[in-house]
């Protein structure tokens, strides 16, 4: 039954996988007559898509739910649904903490949301669905034509690695891979809707297909590389212990595979890596980096770190700083360690005091900021192929408030480039989704600025990312 004029607000906290789920939730509710709105106050249905990976993310969920309590008091007919990792982890307990919530649905129950809404409306009672269904994947629904340049495709759910700080195996279940035919069909659907860049998502894409005996990840990339209309392929996340020589070779051999790898290391100390149950050593990790750079010298490398894991000494932390220097990351994500109640490390006794964790995190970011800026400065004078995202969000300080000559895009290494259109390029009708050569003229801590190369042609078809010396 169609209900016209119902409004929906999806609030997503957390990683790209949650962003993908949030998009699928919103698209799955359109056939029920829901239209997305930009603020919770204007919505008839609010879906909170939650993350439990860090304590802070979980706190954010409950503080957002607190805001919704006030809305629900004013409008008792407002429907509130809570999904994602916190919903999976807490289940019924969400209702004791936030009794105004109508629906709690777990990470593998997204497709059941329409049915749960109908049940809750018919019974007038809250509904909770957190079973770990074997069918891990939400039915994919492509975006509207021309809605976006980049899209996500979840190719795996869950994880079997059991790092001692992590709750993913308990909230997303055991590792499951989406069959290659389904991945290919989803990516084709995205390209038909105008998407030019796809990011494949999984907790550890390097073990794709292994359990089910499907094709392996490099083979999947090879098939995706042939899809017409797809310009760029990215993926995240890669576990270093499973990074194969074949995957390394794919960076050299597949022109559409972006020259960027996110390879989380978490710590530079073997002692801490062991306590984290990461199953690789610093030497193995450095060997993988060397092989990657031999196969693909311009590859951008990013990583994740945890500062202040239980038992981390000053010397362990020095090894973390030293690996950041040695690898020379393009950028990194880092967090202070926080206990997740269901993760084994929560029971480790030798916790690092909060002020020490904070100080280590600050030193880590200081070091990386310097390295990132140096990396950006080295690109000045080079020509990078940029996939145009759209008009620049940030206009130059000395320019008009909304200057139509200011555009933004990203390099193959995933660096943001803001650029000014020259008269030549204005006449070329630069638009989102095009690949254009941009000479880098200035470097900043988080972005680059450049100017399209006059006389260059926008490119289509398979794109190797060449970085030409000026």
Residues in contact with ligand SF4 by the rule CB under 6 A = 159, 161-163, 166, 168-169, 203-204, 239
Contact (Cβ atoms closer than 8 angstroms) between residue 373 and residue 445: yes
For ligand SF4, the closer CB: 161 or 467: 161
Locus of tokens 């390394």: 248
Question: How far is Cα 226 from Cα 180, in angstroms, rounded to an integer?
Answer: 14
Smaller CB distance to ligand SF4: residue 203 or 368? 203
Instruction: Return the number of the residue (274 or 293) whose C-beta is nearest ligand SF4.
Output: 274
Closest contact distance (angstroms) between CB of 262 and ligand SF4 is: 12
Q: How far is CA 217 from CA 207, 243, 421, in A?
A: 7, 10, 39
CA 19 to chain centre: 7
- Exposed, middle or buried: residue 366 (CB in 10 Å: 0-12, 13-18, 19+)? exposed
Instruction: Measure CA 179 to chain center.
Output: 21
Shortest gap between Cβ of 168 and ligand SF4 (angstroms)?
A: 4
For residue 212, the minimal CB distance to ligand SF4 (Å) is: 17
Helix (H, G, I), strand (E, B) or coil at 404: coil
CB of 337 to ligand SF4, least distance (A): 13
Joined together, the tokens standing for residue 240 give 């270093």
Burial 246-257 (b: 16+ CB within 10 A, else e): ebbebbbebebb
Q: How far apart are CA 346 and CA 348, in angstroms?
A: 6
> Nearer Cβ to ligand SF4, position 254 or 265?
265
Q: Which is nearer to ligand SF4, 206 or 412 (CB)?
A: 206
**Nearer to ligand SF4 (CB atom), residue 110 or residue 166:** 166
68/273 with CB nearer ligand SF4:
273
Q: Classify residue 469 by burial, with Cβ atoms within 10 Å: 0-12, 13-18, 19+.
A: exposed
The span from the CA of 172 to the CA of 158, in Å, is 5
**Smallest distance from ligand SF4 to CB 172, Å:** 8
The residue count for the chain? 470
Task: Compute the least distance from the CB of residue 137 to ligand SF4, in Å.
Answer: 17
- Closest approach, Cβ 109 to ligand SF4, in A, equals 20
């Amino acid at each position: 039954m169609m209900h016209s004029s119902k409004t929906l607000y999806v609030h997503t906290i957390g990683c790209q996988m949650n962003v993908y789920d949030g998009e699928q939730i919103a698209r799955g509710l359109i056939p029920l007559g829901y239209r997305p709105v930009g603020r919770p106050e204007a919505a008839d249905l609010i879906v909170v898509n939650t993350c439990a990976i860090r304590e802070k993310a979980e706190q954010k969920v409950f503080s957002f739910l607190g805001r919704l309590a006030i809305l629900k008091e004013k409008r008792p007919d407002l429907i509130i649904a809570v999904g994602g990792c916190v919903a999976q982890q807490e289940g019924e307990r969400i209702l004791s903490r936030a009794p105004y919530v109508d629906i709690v649905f777990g990470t593998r129950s997204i497709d059941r949301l329409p049915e749960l809404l109908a049940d809750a409306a018919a019974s007038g009672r809250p509904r909770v669905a957190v079973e770990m269904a074997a069918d891990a994947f939400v039915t994919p629904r492509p975006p509207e034509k021309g809605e976006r340049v980049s899209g996500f495709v979840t190719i795996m759910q869950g994880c079997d690695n059991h790092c001692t700080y992590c709750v993913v195996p308990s909230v997303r279940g055991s590792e499951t891979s989406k069959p290659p035919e389904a991945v290919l069909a989803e990516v084709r659907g995205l390209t038909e809707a105008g998407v030019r860049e796809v990011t494949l998502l999984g907790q550890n894409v390097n073990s794709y297909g292994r359990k089910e005996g499907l094709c392996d990840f490099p083979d999947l990339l090879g098939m995706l590389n042939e899809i017409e209309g797809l310009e760029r392929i990215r993926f995240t996340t890669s576990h270093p212990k499973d990074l194969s020589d074949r995957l390394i070779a794919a960076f050299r051999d597949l022109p559409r595979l972006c020259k960027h790898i996110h390879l989380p290391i978490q710590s530079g100390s073997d002692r801490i890596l062991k306590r984290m149950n990461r199953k690789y050593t610093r030497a193995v990790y450095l060997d993988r980096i060397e092989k990657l750079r031999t196969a693909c010298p311009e590859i951008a490398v990013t990583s994740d770190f945890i500062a202040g894991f239980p038992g981390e000494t000053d010397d362990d932390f020095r090894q973390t700083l030293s690996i950041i220097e040695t690898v020379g990351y393009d950028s990194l994500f880092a967090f202070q360690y926080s206990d997740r109640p269901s993760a084994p490390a929560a029971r480790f006794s030798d916790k690092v005091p909060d002020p020490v964790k904070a100080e280590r995190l600050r030193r880590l970011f200081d070091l990386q900021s310097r390295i990132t800026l140096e990396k950006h400065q080295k690109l000045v004078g080079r020509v990078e192929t940029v996939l145009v995202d759209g008009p620049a969000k940030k206009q130059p300080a000395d320019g008009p408030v909304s200057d139509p000559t200011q555009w933004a895009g990203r390099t193959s290494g995933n660096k943001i480039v803001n650029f000014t259109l020259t008269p030549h390029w204005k006449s070329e009708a630069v638009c989102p989704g095009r690949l254009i050569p941009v000479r880098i003229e200035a470097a900043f801590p988080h972005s680059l600025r450049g100017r399209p190369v006059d006389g260059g042609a926008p490119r289509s078809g398979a794109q190797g990312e060449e970085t030409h010396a000026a």
